[in-house]
Amino acid sequence: MLSAADNNLLTTTGPGTAMGALFRRFWLPALLSRELPEPDGPPKKLRLLGEDLLAFRDTNGRVGLVDPRCPHRGANLYYGRNEEGGLRCAFHGWKFDVGGRCLQATTFPQDEKYPDLLPKLGLHAYPVEEAGGIIWAYLGPPDLRPPLPRLELLELASDHRFASKKLQECNWAQACDGALDTAHFSFLHMSVGEDMQSAATMSQSEAAASGDSNRLRWMRDDGMPRFSFVEHPAGVVMGAARHADGEDLYWRISQFLFPNHALVPSTFPGETYHSQIFVPIDDDSCWIYCTSWNPARPIGPAERARYEAGHSIYANVDADYIPIRRRANDYLLDRDEQKRRSFTGIKGVSEQDQAIQDSQGFIADRTREHLGPTDAGVVRFRRLMLDAAKALAAGHEPAAAQAAEAFCVRGGGAVAHRDVPLADVMRSRFGDPAGLISKNGNPHV
Ligand code: FES
Ligand SMILES: [Fe+2]
């Protein structure tokens, strides 16, 4: 459990909060690239860490992320015209470029003072970078702006990766809690079919998310995995070990990366890797950016179509990335299905996660929890974030923000003898105890 003060610290990220300051030391996904599909297309409203912003793509394809209020008299630039080289306010025609610079202030006479005036009339704009199909934003102090984290996703050609997102109607931290609590798969995502094969076909996404029937069986039979950790400069490796067959353990190894990434623990060699990034919209909701990458082979059309339709970490979403099964319709819970076939009666691994995380409240009350050994990953994540936010408030910058190279890590599944510790499981699975991918490529795909 947490104290009320720590729960508040963990979950509030608006301007002026300690956790908000920590988030503002890192690059955060602001939009998918495909949400601004064309030069001079419609601008896009968004809310990030409690700040209302406006994004637009200019004639040259560059993206601007700006304060939406026009400095003339406060009209919202969302209604503006995205014209040659900038966005023009629809009220009286002031025009701004992607850096927020005022190009024309049409209500002032263009005399010799005009060039001196323009620099004073700009919009606040945040730095933006585009990589991996995602538009990344940095909302922190300009002099502390770090390089983009070197995520493996960003290293690969576009045919080897996929990215989408889904709305989550609760606080970012409990969604991240849920992703790092890998023990819950033994219950939340399980089927209640008679045999494992029918159980696996009953829920395709469940079977695919967990690999094969052995993995499903090991997860079903051991609902109390034992956690081990390996800390590294970008975050922490979280290994959860279940009994497998004979003297072996089945390891599901996730990673938490600062400040909001959770790597999916299920991937075996050759399979596709996945990660979720939890981005606060405000304190009651977040976008979960879902990313997948496969260093061994391109992600083909059939696999992409599955992700687009809702599969594994991907929800079935509408054109605005809002899940079809959501709070407002109780996730289309089917009680008959729950009685006969699936533990929840809710279709989709992602929607099962979403339902149960939303059900903890818009902001979970962590003062009333009773945490046990299988909550060790959740405890570690919260402690890292709370310690980093408190340290920053005391004047100590988070080292992870500048450790871009350390973010190129993998998590995944492995089977090993019960005497092998996590660091050695990581070495044999990924070639490095932190799962770090060498710059020269890595044979452990
Ligand atoms: S309010 Fe934008 S130009 Fe007047
Ligand atoms: Fe889950």
For residue 70, give the CATH number of its domain: 2.102.10.10
Residue 79: nearest ligand to its CA?
A: 1
* 364 and 310 housed in the same domain: yes
For residue 77, the ligand 1 atom closest to its alpha carbon is 2
Order of all β-strands in the sheet with 51-57: 44-48, 51-57, 63-66, 125-126
DSSP β-ladder status, 125-126 and 95-96:
unpaired
* 102 and 162 housed in the same domain: no
Containing domain of residue 135, as a range? 27-144
In a domain, residue 252? The reply is yes
In a domain, residue 439? The reply is no
Instruction: State the pLDDT at residue 113.
Output: 83
User: How many domains are there within the chain?
Assistant: 2
Which residue in 110, 50, 131 sits closest to 407, CA to CA?
Answer: 131
* 250 and 304 housed in the same domain: yes
List beta partners, residue 151: none
* 130 and 161 housed in the same domain: no
* 218 and 108 housed in the same domain: no
54 alpha carbon to ligand 2 midpoint, in Å? 32
DSSP per-residue letters across 311-377: BTTB--B-TTS-BSS-GGGGGG--HHHHHHTBSSS-SSHHHHHHHHHHTTTTTT-GGG----GGGHH
Domain C-terminal end among 144, 177, 196: 144
Which of 91, 103, 106, 108 to mutate for ligand 1's pocket (most ligand atoms within 8 Å of CB)? 91
41 alpha carbon to ligand 1 midpoint, in Å? 20
In the structure encoding, which two tokens stand for residue 415, read together?
Answer: 């089977």
Q: What angle do CA 420, 423, 428 make, to 5 degrees?
A: 75
Which residue in 391, 401, 406 sits closest to 140, CA to CA?
Answer: 401
In a domain, residue 13? The reply is no
* 173 and 31 housed in the same domain: no
In a domain, residue 22? The reply is no
53 alpha carbon to ligand 1 midpoint, in Å? 17
* 57 and 161 housed in the same domain: no
43 alpha carbon to ligand 1 midpoint, in Å? 17
* 44 and 77 housed in the same domain: yes
Give Cα 21 to chain centroid, integer Å.
Answer: 18
In a domain, residue 77? The reply is yes
Distance CA 82, CA 172 (A): 32
Instruction: State the pLDDT at residue 426.
Output: 98
* 199 and 268 housed in the same domain: yes
* 55 and 202 housed in the same domain: no
In a domain, residue 124? The reply is yes
In a domain, residue 6? The reply is no
In a domain, residue 368? The reply is yes
Which of 88, 89, 106 to mutate for ligand 1's pocket (most ligand atoms within 8 Å of CB)? 89
Is 118 in contact with 103 (CB distance < 8 Å)?
yes
Quick one: which H or E segment has residue 120? none
Is 351 in contact with 311 (CB distance < 8 Å)?
no
Instruction: State the pLDDT at residue 198.
Output: 38
Q: What is the pLDDT along the chain (445 residues), one digit of tens a residue?
A: 899 999 999 999 999 999 999 999 999 999 999 999 999 999 999 999 999 999 999 999 999 999 999 999 999 999 999 999 999 999 999 999 999 999 999 999 988 888 889 999 999 999 999 999 999 999 999 999 999 999 999 999 999 999 999 999 999 999 999 999 999 999 999 998 754 443 433 344 445 454 578 999 999 999 999 999 999 999 999 999 999 999 999 999 999 999 999 999 999 999 999 999 999 999 999 999 999 999 999 999 999 999 999 999 999 999 999 999 999 999 999 999 999 999 999 999 999 999 999 999 999 999 999 999 999 999 999 999 999 999 999 999 999 999 999 999 999 999 999 999 999 999 999 999 999 997 655 555 5
Domain C-terminal end among 119, 144, 169: 144
75 alpha carbon to ligand 1 midpoint, in Å? 6
* 303 and 179 housed in the same domain: yes
Domain C-terminal end among 144, 174, 195: 144
Which residue has the least CA distance to atom 4 on ligand 1? Answer: 92
Which residue in 128, 401, 66, 137 sits closest to 287, CA to CA?
Answer: 137
Q: What residue ranges line ligand 1, CB within 6 angstroms?
A: 70, 72-73, 75, 89, 91-94
Residues in the chain: 445
* 129 and 194 housed in the same domain: no
Instruction: State the pLDDT at residue 204.
Output: 42
